[in-house]
Amino acid sequence: MNILIVDDIHSILLEKLDQVGISYDYQPSFNKADAENMIQQYTGLIIRSKFQVDQSFLDLASNLQFIARPGAGMDNIDEEYATSKGIRLFSANDGNKDAVGEHMIGMLLVLMNNLNRSHREVCTGQWCREENRGYELKGRTVALIGYGHNGQAMAKKLSGFEVNVIAYDKYKTGFSDAYAKEVSMEEVVRQADILSFHIPLTRETRGMVDDEYLFHFRKPIFFLMGARGAIANIPSVLKYLDAGKIVGAAFDVLPIEKFPALGEADWYADLISRDNVLLSPHVAGWTFESYYKLSDIIADKIIGFYKKR
């Protein structure tokens, strides 16, 4: 058994594989072409987000038994085709849930209290108190779209803020707990003061946040996108920011990521010009602690896979 590792990972993964005698080839500098030239030699592949593991790549991987991703979700892997070829898929969806929850709450508090704008103003000699009067989180209704690992972690972390947390998940029922109440989408659009997304990118969710989706919300909302960028249509969010139906928007993920492509998007200049928009470079789940946990969890899943064979 031999595993090709094409992304940077925490050393705990290598240490655990060494302990049980599983061999690997650690090549974090490999690009897709490099991997394609060698993948037929390996029974396992460990990859984060470096490239798309598509049908053409999988057709070259004649001996591949599993693909492991030390991250949440399998967005860059053709899951259906891999499964049809008998390849097992492992992810570490619970490895960065705490990081995501903390990051998105942090972005929300920055938005609600105008911290980004007021920081810039103080740094340029402006002392604007009234203009930066903020909102309190206590007593508001936070609506979570998706109640998997990340949604549950977000709800738990919100519990100390004395908010009402509701959650909608199309694929789960009976999940109400001490931290969130299961509701319909109709209740979400009626009650939400804050809207936060915790769902994967699928054919169904791609572009789901559009004009029609946002139109139905009854109250002005704070909008948080920490799931996958392609879920939201940015011009639609800008439209509802202009209309006042979105009070502020925070994006850790965007439909286009990395430069220069992001800077060339026709909505980018408008997005960054706004004081009530906050951006971060897809790092919500990427803390020093989650870096360890993601690799640790994946190592255990790989070892468990070999032990069952």
Mean of pLDDT over the chain:
96
pLDDT at 136: 97
The verdict on 104 and 253 lying in the same domain is yes
pLDDT at 73: 84
- Going 9 to 279 to 228 to 59, the CA torsion angle's sign is negative
Residue 93's CB is within 10 A of a number of other CB atoms, namely 17
pLDDT at 171: 93
Is residue 68 within 8 Å of 87, Cβ to Cβ?
Answer: no
Q: Rounded CA gap, 241 and 255, in Å?
A: 18
Beta-strand runs (E) in the chain: 2-5, 23-26, 44-46, 66-69, 88-91, 141-145, 164-168, 181-182, 194-197, 221-225, 246-251, 277-279
pLDDT at 75: 84
Nearby residues of 197 by Cβ (< 8 Å), 6 or more positions away: 145, 146, 209, 224, 225, 226, 227, 231, 232
Counted domains in the chain = 2
Provide mean pLDDT across the span 190-216.
96
The verdict on 258 and 292 lying in the same domain is no
pLDDT at 93: 87
pLDDT per residue as tens digits for the range 274-292 = 999 999 999 999 999 999 9
The verdict on 246 and 275 lying in the same domain is yes
For residue 96, is pLDDT > 90? yes
The verdict on 21 and 147 lying in the same domain is no
The verdict on 265 and 149 lying in the same domain is yes
The verdict on 145 and 263 lying in the same domain is yes
Nearby residues of 73 by Cβ (< 8 Å), 6 or more positions away: 91, 93, 200, 201, 228
- Going 247 to 253 to 259 to 265, the CA torsion angle's sign is negative
Q: Rounded CA gap, 233 and 211, in Å?
A: 8
pLDDT at 226: 96
Provide mean pLDDT across the span 135-139.
97
| pLDDT confidence bin for 305, thresholds 50/70/90 | very high
Residue 122's CB is within 10 A of a number of other CB atoms, namely 12
Provide mean pLDDT across the span 168-174.
95
For residue 191, is pLDDT > 80? yes
The verdict on 169 and 55 lying in the same domain is no
For residue 1, is pLDDT > 80? no
The verdict on 109 and 15 lying in the same domain is no
Is residue 75 within 8 Å of 94, Cβ to Cβ?
Answer: no
Provide mean pLDDT across the span 197-215.
95
pLDDT per residue as tens digits for the range 17-50 = 999 999 999 999 999 999 999 999 999 999 998 9
Q: Rounded CA gap, 186 and 174, in Å?
A: 17
Q: Rounded CA gap, 58 and 239, in Å?
A: 41
The verdict on 275 and 293 lying in the same domain is no
- Going 140 to 143 to 147 to 149, the CA torsion angle's sign is negative
* Count of all residues that appear for the chain in the document: 309
> The domain containing residue 103 runs over which residues?
97-279
Q: Rounded CA gap, 105 and 163, in Å?
A: 12
The verdict on 261 and 173 lying in the same domain is yes
**Cα–Cα–Cα angle for 305, 92, 201, rounded to 5 degrees:** 120
The CATH number for 12's domain is 3.40.50.720
Provide mean pLDDT across the span 153-172.
97
Nearest CA to 271 out of 226, 245, 233 is that of 233
The verdict on 274 and 204 lying in the same domain is yes
The verdict on 122 and 254 lying in the same domain is yes
In this structure, what DSSP letter does residue 25 have? E
Angle between helices 149-158 and 97-112 (to 10 degrees): 50
